[in-house]
Each structure stands twice: as structure tokens, then as C-alpha cells.
Structure 1
Amino acid sequence: MHEHDRDRAVLAAVVFAVLFSQVLLYPGVATLVETLGADATTSAFTATALDASMWFLVAEFAAYIAFVGVWGLASDATGRRTPFIVAGSLAGAVGYAALALVASIGSIPFEGVLLVRVFQGAMTIGAFSLTMTMLMDLEGGHGRNMGAAGIAIGLGAALGAPVGGQLTELAPLAPLLAAAGLLVCVGGLVSFVEDRAPDNRRTLGALVGGLRRRPTLSIPYAFGFVDRLTAGFFALVGTLYFQTRFGLDPGTTGLLLACFFAPFALLQYPMGALSDRIGRTIPIVVGSICYGVGILAVGAASSVPIAALAMVLVGVLGALVAPATMALVTDIAVESERGVAMAGFNLAGSLGFLGGFLVGGTVAGAYSYGLAFLIVGGLEIAIAIVAVPAFLRVSANRAGRFGPGDRNDA
């Protein structure tokens, strides 16, 4: 196996482990927050099971938003990735273990639980974002590298959902303990990969200035925001919707979520390679429109089999969009600013996840699940339509990158 192929596989395994540990908590989140004391308080955060679940997920992604840029700036400024990934993964493991410990103590208010969750999220995002940046540093084709990241993300989510549901039925705290163990493994695994961060260190001001000179990064950031918004929506609202609409238990809910995540994962690498050949425009723009229509179909499903088929369709379309969007970030960013550029993409994605939790949870709670699906699916379609003129204008100016995708290092 070529060294780049081996390193790509190892880094993809690290991304998988981080996402798998995160998604383990989702199918049983309502049970988990109850175990962590949500029912024992009169906090505004815990008025209902949906509220408590929403704020538990929001806390992690608020930390992602606040700290992802810090990790990227630190990595680019020092010209190192590995030490930061090791530190973030081990500290994230401590955060997951501390949450499990909270349940045994039993005297910490839910606000304290949310603070621990913030710490865990702030640490975990460093390991996640910088591992993706190490994939950006590899040669071999940006679409392939981001396809490897995408398949790891998708597989982590696809397997994390059903495994998390089964672990929750075994013990409510089991997903937390499993997540802590996985992040310890991440800290060891990443040390086997050469750190290829560019040697030319730069000041923080120079890094931020470099991003300002590349406004075209706003295109993949915008699509990344909406794509992750839909993922956050399914993680919270989709989970509770399936359980409420069809009376499913956490284990079966995890399997239904896997109907999306399995094709989403398995098709990432070939779809990323496809975008290297045909360019980013068709996969991102056309794929996003179809993806939004698929979300509307899930919300309109009248039975579990139909919902499962619609989730499979959404997964296929998501696999078309995701690696091309991430590869577009690599196409635009210069080598010395990749950590910050990917941090910006993950910042946009984390804001999207946060929006998915807040918008989806608020609309579903105040109005209906049907309206929530309509808004989220409509946003996915709208961003694609609105972005077409800017996308095609930049594509014409940078045909080598936005047309057939960056063959220089393929």
C-alpha cells in the first residue's frame, strides 16, 4: 500500500472514531439527559424532554463554534497538527468520562452538566477539525482525500446511531463510557501518521488576513452550513419525530437513522473521486436541490418502510454533495492556511448543526414536525438556487478548480 493511501486510511479511521463517539449519544439522548438530572430540576433548559435534549446537543456545538477557530489558528501558526489532535482527543475523553461521573454524583444541576458538555465539545472539535486538515495536507486528489473524510464521517454516524441505540438500552451511560474509550484510542492512532503541516509558520494576523483575501471560501462554507443544519435536524428532531410518529424505541430509531447514514457513508469516496473528474458544480448545486426534495419526502412519509426508503434516498444525495463541498475548501485554500480554512468550514458546519437543533427543535415544539421538515428541506433547496450565480461566476474564473476538480495532485 502506498504511504499516502495508508495515511489516508489511518486518518479516516481517526475521523470515524471521533464521529462514532459523538453519534453514540443521539438515539438515546432523551434517556441520557434524564439520567443526568434533567427531570430533577426546574431549569428553563428542562421544561420538556425535547428542551433538555436540545440544550444538551446545543452545548456541544456552541463549544465547537467557539473553539474550532482557535485550534486551526494554533495549528497553522505553529506548523504542527499531531500534538493538538492528541491533546484534544485525550481531553475530550476526560469530558465524556466526567459526564458519566456526574450521574453517579447526582447533586450537580443540569446547568453544570451543560458546562461539562461545553468542555467536552471544545476539546473534541480540535481532534476532529485538525484530522481533516491532515487529510487536506495529503497528496492524491482533493476529492479523494475529502471523500475519505466523508466516508469516515458517514460510517461513524451510520454505525454510531444503531450501536448507540443498543448501548442505551443496555445502560443509559454506556454511550458516554464508550465515547471516552474511543477518544483515548484516537490519541494513540494519530501518532502513526506523518505530520505534513507546512513548515512556514505565520502570525495569527497573517492567517486571518489570508482568509479575508479569499471570499470565495464563503461558497463551500454556505453549503456546509445548510448541509450540517439538516444533519443536526435529523439528529434531534428526526430522532424524536420517528419515535413520536411511529412509536419506535431507541434501537429501532437508530436503525432508521442508519438508512440515511449507511449510503451516505459508503458512497462518499466514489462521489468524491467523481467530483475530481467532473468538477464540483454539478454535485454541489444539483445535488443540494435534490437533497432538499428528499428531506421533504421523509417528512411526508406515511409509514416506517416509506420513511426508510426516503432516508436511503437522502443518504445517496448527501453523499453526492458532502465530499465535493469539502474538496472545494481544499481547492481554494493555500497550503499554509489549510488549518484555518478547514476550521472555518467546520465553524460553518457547527453553526449549521446548532441551527438544526434550535430551528428544528423550536419549530417542531411550537408548531409541528411537518412544518419543521418543510423549513429545513426548503432551506437546502433555497441555498442552492441563490448560490448558482455566484458559483458559476467563480467557476468560470477558476475553471481548473471548479471545473474538473484539481487534477494537479491526483
Structure 2
Amino acid sequence: MTRAARTPSPVLGLRANAAQFTLLVAVNALVGGMVGQQQTVLPLLATEEFGLTGFTFIFTYVAAFGVTKAVANYFAGTLSDRHGRKPVLLAGWLFAVPVPLMLILAPNWGWVIAANVLLGINQGLTWSTTVVMKIDLVGPRQRGLAMGLNEAAGYGAVAASSLVAGYLAGHYGLRPAPFLLGLSYTALALLLSGVFIRETAGHARLESQKHSPRADGMHDHLHQDLDNRQILIQTSLREPALSSASLAGLVNNLNFGLSWGLFPLLFATAGLPVEQVGLLFALYPGVWGAGQLVTGALSDRIGRKHLIAAGMGLQAAALAVIAASGSFAGWALGTVLLGAGTAMVYPTLLAVVGDVAHPAWRGRAVGVYRVWRDLGYAVGAVLGGIIADWLGLHAAVWAAAVLSAATAGIVAARMYETLAPRST
């Protein structure tokens, strides 16, 4: 039997690719779990084992992670368009192998920063690639649903791993128990990615062959043959929907980066035990993850723009609640609202990029968008640390609330609706 006979021709659609799509969802859950294993634990490790006191210095590991992940996102998009998706996915998981061991054995904070550099490379290569692969498989009709499922798996795993890591840290100590999760995640992901996941670049080529301009004339200025520089300029600055999505993504992850480094310390000011700190931190990505199961599909029906603007506005309100509170109940309400606002935004922004970018340069557009989005980790960590050092933890949260509200207004004013009108 010939190779052509053994290899089925690609078909677009979620149902037609259900098995591969499900495997990619599982792999992205493992990607999220790698972040969740450390989020509750590392700020406490910084203060209790390494004796760090300056907020800006503590947040350096978040900044290192964010910058590295942003750069890795760009290369993930470029390499996946050039060499295929699966090799990039596998390479990303190889970078994850030493991370849990470095965190377990770290004799000083420099090891933690170095581990987060490797984790940033892992997250940029693997998460970006699973996003592109899912968009490849489903085609144009169900992008919102696909991104909702993808992000729900990833951030649901962040929440679950944060909760489990907090429990393990409370009962067995900050090291090594929480980081054993990461070792198991990496082993399973390498098995799934290496043996069971198949290349999806052929699906992108199929969609490119079938691609036709929108009836309303949107995107006519974006051609198939854009080079890397043009893609960078369009996604970052010039194209209204793509550049608005990049801004909203940056501010969204600014909030996440700030919460990652700051929330456990803020919650600890009320004398909460580690388990309750872990629960509060898990509520945010937990609601975020579950909510995307609804919001991604909803954006396929009602459109992208209004969900994004309203979601950024809700994040601003949630951060104000957190900043004004000083107890478990107030913080729980704020983190739930923050998760809901993020769920409205996160998969919808990726769907916008999928709507606008041509299949021939989709991977690179997703990579550029994720560069800006994940720089938000570093901006949030550094800005939050500086403001917290100068004015206190609550002031840093208020600053993030103001930025989120401003972003909601910019999206409402500048972004157009990217969901193509349904044919009648």
C-alpha cells in the first residue's frame, strides 16, 4: 500500500477531526498544568525559604517567564508555518523536562528565574502550536468554540494544579511535593505529542485553497503573500482588529501576571492559611477556564467585539473589588468576577486573529499576537512590583483596574466586528 493510500486527505471541521482535536485539548491541559504547579508556591518559597522581601525582586521570575514566552511565541508561529506544527510542539516539551527538577533542587532564587526562562520557552512553543493546530483542524466556522475548548483546558488545568499544589504544599511542604506534578505532566505530554498527535499543516493548506474574500469587503487589504515584517506591523499597529486584539491581550495578561506574583502575598496579609490562598488563586483561572466553554461558542453566534469590550470592563470592576477588599469573602467575589471577565476575552481574541489572518500566515499572526499578549506577564509583574513597593499591594491592583477600563474603551472605539456575516 502506498503512503498516499495510508494517509487520509485532510478534512476541515470539529466533528471530522474529533479524535485529534481531543488529544490536542489534553496536551494543552498539560501545558497549563506546568504553570499551575508553581503559581501558589513560588511567591511563598521566595519569602519563606529564600528570605526575599522586595516585591519587584520577587516578581522577577514572572517577568523572566513572560519575556521568554513572548519571544518563544513569535518563533513558534514562524517555525510552524515553515517546518510544520508537530516538530515545534515536541521541541517545546523538551524544554520542560528540567523545569520541575530545577525548582525542587534550587539553592537560590537565580535557579528559580532560570527555570522560568525554560518554562517560558515551553509555554510559548507548545501553547501557540496547539492553538494553531486547533484552528487548522476546525476551519472557519467554529473558531470561537475551538479556542474556548483550548483555553478552557489550559486554564482549567492551571486552576486544578494550583489547588493541588497548594494542598501538597500545606501538607508536605513547599518542596518537593508540588513540583512532582510537573514531572508527570511532561512525561505524559511527550508520549502524546510524539506518538499520537499528527501534523495539521495540510489542513491549513486546504483552507488556503478554499479561502475566498468576505462579502462585506473586510480584510481585502490583507493578502496571502505578506512577509514577516508586514505581518508584525499589521498585527501590532496598523490593522484595527488585530492591533486592538494585541493591546487587549497584553492588558489581560498584565492582570494575570500581576495576580500571579501579587495575589498570594495580598491574600497572606489577612493571615490566610496556604490552602485558602491556593483556593482563592484557583478561583480565578477556574472560572476563567470553565467560562470559556460558553464564551468561545457564544462569540461564534453573537460576534467578537462586544464580548471583548465587556470582558475588559468586567475585569476592571473585579480588580476594583479585590483592591477594596481585605477578607476571604471579598477576594473570592473579586477573583470569580475577574475569571468571568477573562473568559469573555481570552478565546475571543484568538478567534479574532483567526478571522482576520490568511491561512498562509496564520501561524505567524498568532505568534505576533501572543508576543504582545504574553509581554503582559512581564509588564504586570514589573509594574505591579514597582507600585507595590512604592504605594502598597492594594495600589498596584487599583492601577491594573484603571488600565483595564481604558482598554475596554479603546476596543469599543477601534475594533470592528471580525465574525463574517452569515450567508442567507
Q: Does TM, normalized by the shorter one, top 0.5?
A: yes
Superposition deviation, residue 4 in structure 1: 2.2
TM-fit CA distance, 1:290: 2.2
> How has the CA–CA distance of structure 1 residues 52 and 175 changed in structure 2, closer, same or farther, with 3 Å as cutoff?
farther
Q: Tell me if the contact between 1:271 and 1:319 (Cα under 8 Å) persists in the aligned partners.
A: yes
Q: 1:238 to 1:193 in 2, by over 3 A?
A: same
Partner of 1:323: 347
Secondary structure, in 3 states, of the residue corresponding to 2:199? Answer: coil
Distance (Å, rounded) in 1 between the aligned partners of 2:155 and 2:118: 25
| Matched letter for residue 175 of structure 1 | P
For 1:144, the equivalent position in structure 2 comes to 145
Aligned partners of 1:30, 1:276: CA distance in 2, in Å? 38
1:206 equivalent in structure 2? 227
Deviation at residue 16 of structure 1 after TM alignment: 1.4
- The question of whether the paired residues in 2 share the 8 Å contact of 1:93 and 1:181 is answered with no
TM-score of the aligned structures, taking structure 1 as reference length: 0.86
Listed as ranges, the matches of 1:185-196 within 5 Å are 185-191=188-194, 192-196=196-200
Matching of residue 219 in structure 1 with residue 272 in structure 2:
no
What stretches of structure 1 of length at least 5 have no aligned partner? 40-45, 396-400
Using a 3 Å threshold, how does the CA distance of structure 1 residues 64 and 145 change in structure 2: closer, same or farther?
A: same
Separation of aligned partners in 2, 1:3 and 1:49: 53
Deviations 1:153-197 (A, max 9, x none): 320222122112122232323333321321221122234233111
Aligned-partner Cα distance in 2 for 1:175–1:389: 44
Q: Is 1:56 aligned with 2:61? A: yes
Counterpart contact for 1:87–1:187, Cα < 8 Å: no
In structure 2, the CA distance between the partners of 1:206 and 1:6, relative to structure 1 (3 Å rule), is same
Q: What's the offset of the Cα at 1:207?
A: 3.5
Distance 1:53 1:168 in 2: 19
Distance in 2, Cα, partners of 1:112 & 1:285: 39
Report the more deviating stretch, 119-128 or 141-150.
119-128
Q: What pairs up with 1:12-161 in 2 under 5 angstroms?
A: 12-33=25-46, 38-39=50-51, 46=52, 48=53, 50-78=55-83, 80-101=84-105, 103=106, 106=107, 110-139=109-138, 141-161=142-162
Specify the alignment match of 1:184 in structure 2. 187
Give distance in 1, aligned partners of 2:120 and 2:344: 28
What amino acid does structure 2 have at the position aligned with 1:73? T
* Residue 363 (1) aligns with residue 387 (2): yes
Q: Which amino acid aligns with 1:145?
A: A
The 8 Å contact of residues 147 and 271 in structure 1, kept in 2 or not, is answered as: yes
Aligned mates of 1:154, 1:123 — CA distance in 2: 16
Gaps of 5+ in 2: 1-13, 209-224
- Deviation for aligned residue 1:402: 3.7
**Per-residue CA shift, 1:200-234, capped at 9, x if unaligned?**
99xx9834434445532211111111111111111
Secondary structure of the residue that 1:24 maps to in structure 2? helix
TM-score (structure 2 length as normaliser)? 0.83
Q: Deviations over 1:25-82 (max 9, x none)?
A: 11111343468x744xxxxxx5x2634431122222221123321222111112x111
Aligned partner of 1:291 among 308, 315, 322: 315
Who is 1:381 aligned against? 405
